[in-house]
Amino acid sequence: MKTIKGPAIFLAQFAGDAPPFNSLGSIAEWAAELGYEGIQIPTWDARLFDLKKAAESKTYCDEVKGIAAEHDIVITELSTHLQGQLVAVHPAYDEAFDGFAAPEVRGNPKARQAWAVEQLMHAAKASQNLGLTAHATFSGALAWPFVYPWPQRPAGLVETAFDELARRWTPILNAFDAAGVDVCYEIHPGEDLFDGTTFEMFLERVNNHPRCNILYDPSHFVLQALDYLAYIDIYHERIKMFHVKDAELNPTGRQGVYSGFASWADRAGRFRSLGDGQVDFGGIFSKLTKYGFDGWAVLEWECCLKHPEDGAREGALFIDSHIIRVTEKAFDDFAGAGTDEAANKRMLGIA
């Protein structure tokens, strides 16, 4: 067993134009003051990070680590959630996702996808330059519009989508392999990888690639009514990252899992600040510890009710209180009789 590292915080939902959220140094200082020991950096936010420069310059990466270290903070991982989304975009979402891309490739799906792949390639090298071993991203989606279809899907549609998704990601996975970094897909509705079955479909098509791994976020499983503790039992060998995010699902006579047309506050399924939802974090931390997960416990704040700064302040204490410092001895060692092999055989009646 190993002790989970943390607490850490994903900066994407906190970055902004006003201090202390508008530069890496000031936001790192803010996080440290709240009790965080690590930060996960969104690579699309130029206020905090220059991805291309990080891929090309080890010196820049050393400077970035130095800025964090000034506040006793380490960089836990980089994130390319937005760029990963653009690796595979169904035409129905072209306009919705276009704003994720650089201005020069917007409105051009082919150029946008090539840009996204290049961004992931930069992320592999940047992660290596920073000395990181895991990376957070989304898979993108080609099949998602057909998740609950009417009329029924034609035979082979989903298989073709996953074949194409694997074709697009295999060179990226290979680049991360060369860099010594795991690609951790956040298993998330809206992505083609949204549960265990879809992850397995993808994993099979990338030939069980050793860098194809999971960013585990239980909030997305609560909203699907999926057993998020059993998920750890099944997939723990592939879980390399952990977003600590709470959620609740309160179905009514009017709505259930498919309640997304309502506002966030009025949905049956809602994201909540840590401790305000239904996730059994005691069970999660226990299982991850049992299976030897030694990555970071990273707060991702997306509550529909509470102010983000309150969620961040409370989240550091919440995560810290759930991290299990693993024991170095059994609880009943004091009662050990100190017997040897010969004594064991006598106790069993073995001549």
Report the C-alpha gap between 342 and 79 in whole angstroms: 57
Closest alpha carbon to 241 in 327, 138, 141, 165 = 138
pTM: 0.95
Residue 329 has a pLDDT of 72
Q: Which domains does the chain have, with CATH numbers?
A: 5-348 (3.20.20.150)
In sequence order, which ranges of 45-156 are alpha helices (DSSP H)?
Answer: 51-56, 58-69, 81-85, 94-98, 109-130
Residue-level pLDDT at 331: 64
pLDDT in 10s for each residue of the chain, 351 residues = 899 999 999 999 999 999 999 999 999 999 999 999 999 999 999 999 999 999 999 999 999 999 999 999 999 999 999 999 999 999 999 999 999 999 999 999 999 999 999 999 999 999 999 999 999 999 999 999 999 999 999 999 999 999 999 999 999 999 999 999 999 999 999 999 999 999 999 999 999 999 999 999 999 999 999 999 999 999 999 999 999 999 999 999 999 999 999 999 999 999 999 999 999 999 999 999 999 999 999 999 999 999 999 999 999 999 999 999 998 776 666 667 677 888 888 888 997
Residue 310: how many other CB atoms lie within 10 Å: 12
